[in-house]
Amino acid sequence: MSAKGAARVTRTPLLLLLACLLLACAPASEPWPLSEPLPARLSELGLLLQQGGELRVQDGFVYTLGHPLFSDYASKHRSVHLPPGGRAERVSGADSMAALAFPPGTLITKTFLYPVPAQGLVGLTNVAMETGERAGLALAGLRLLETRVLRHAVSGWEAVSYLWDEAGREAWRADAGALLALVTEDGVAFDYLVPDRNQCAACHGTGRQQRVLMPIGPKPANLAAVRVSEQEQQYARWQAAGWVMDQDEVVAWPAQPDARAYLDVNCAHCHNGDGSAANAGLDLRYSSERPWELGVCKPPVAAGRGAGGLRVGIWPGRPEASILHYRLAHRDPAVMMPELGRSLVDEQALGLIAAWIEELQGDCTHAGMF
């Protein structure tokens, strides 16, 4: 058992150790070698710096998404760090709804955080993020939970999460993930999941076997749904800055909440016809057009309790008779969708999806023998 190899380190010496390490090694000035495994401490990567009470990025830029993945109302600070001279590209032949291709040497970070309205509680209001190379995030009143790192190493993408200590000073590599017991400002207790390394692949892994990891968030259509100034949308700034090599037209997703964009971002990394949930036969990508593949009048396949006594994925006009809606409304791990990454209900999205189903046309009435 590897437990024998796991050291139990007593607390006081550990703090001393930490202090001596921080003195000795911080701040990192050299980029972390691509040939080395990802380090034990996030600071060693030299991507995120804490300066004057602000979180800043080094050799990278901060971005946001018009339609983010829901993660228990956590706010997210996202950054891309391209290698010197490197640029992202649109995947050959792909539309603006596929994630960009980033060159080897790229690192992408996503830091999950909450406002702290009172000691021991987390607030669910979204923290606005500046974007760009000089963006700063004021850390006062915030709790940093984890920073997920995607690195395009020589052999392909790898993913791991770093768990922040309670003081928010250092984040430690947490391959095995963690469950964090949090309480909202309204007193609702929930379990926040820091994914283990394999669970990173549950979303970032492509194909049925989830073998090859890829970034999934930075899709041109989603980046372009954000305005960074009165005049400019975010993806245009990427193009102007040379961060992406892309002369093609970008069809931006709506700037407002949108049911199909929500399904794409929150569901389609598994439900895309070739993803880890291909056995269910759904395709929830923004580009999906066949009603059946969206779940309209489609019986469940292996939903188990997730079917909730309902007969079809989507019953047009009847969200209360639609498994899609039912699973988004639940918190039970055996019922809810997505399977990972949330334990609270995204109430706003639930209303959005309900309204969308109300508008759909069709009728799934049918009868069977048994």
Looking at residues 97 to 116 of the shown chain, list those that interact with other proteins (rule: CB under 8 A).
Answer: none
Using alpha carbons, select from 309, 341, 333 the residue that is nearest to residue 323. Answer: 309
Q: What is the pattern of x (binds other proteins, CB under 8 A) and - over residues 241-280? A: --------------------------------x--x-xx-
Residue 40 or 241 with smaller CB distance to other proteins: 40
Report the b/e string of 303-325 with b at 16+ CB within 10 A. Answer: beebbbebbbbbbbebbebbbbb
Give the footprint of other proteins on residues 39-78 (CB under 8 A).
39-41, 44
Helix, strand, coil % over all residues of the chain, rounded to 5: 25, 25, 55
CA distance 98 to 95: 6
Judge contact between 65 and 225, C-beta under 8 A: yes
Q: Does residue 351 belong to the site contacting other proteins (CB under 8 A)?
A: no
Stretch that binds other proteins, among 76-84, 132-140, 176-184, 219-227 (CB under 8 A): 176-184
Among 99, 149, 252, 310, binds other proteins (CB under 8 A): 310
Q: Does residue 340 belong to the site contacting other proteins (CB under 8 A)?
A: yes
Among 20, 188, 240, 241, binds other proteins (CB under 8 A): 20
Judge contact between 61 and 132, C-beta under 8 A: yes
Q: Does residue 188 belong to the site contacting other proteins (CB under 8 A)?
A: no
In whole angstroms, how close is the CB of 209 to other proteins at the nearest point? 4
Q: Does residue 14 belong to the site contacting other proteins (CB under 8 A)?
A: yes
Using alpha carbons, select from 231, 59, 50, 251 the residue that is nearest to residue 136. Answer: 50
What 27-31 contacts at long range (C-beta under 8 Å, 24+ apart), as own/partner pairs, is: 31/59
DSSP state of 358: H
Among 105, 172, 239, 330, binds other proteins (CB under 8 A): 172
Among 141, 301, 347, 348, binds other proteins (CB under 8 A): 301
Give the footprint of other proteins on residues 214-243 (CB under 8 A).
none
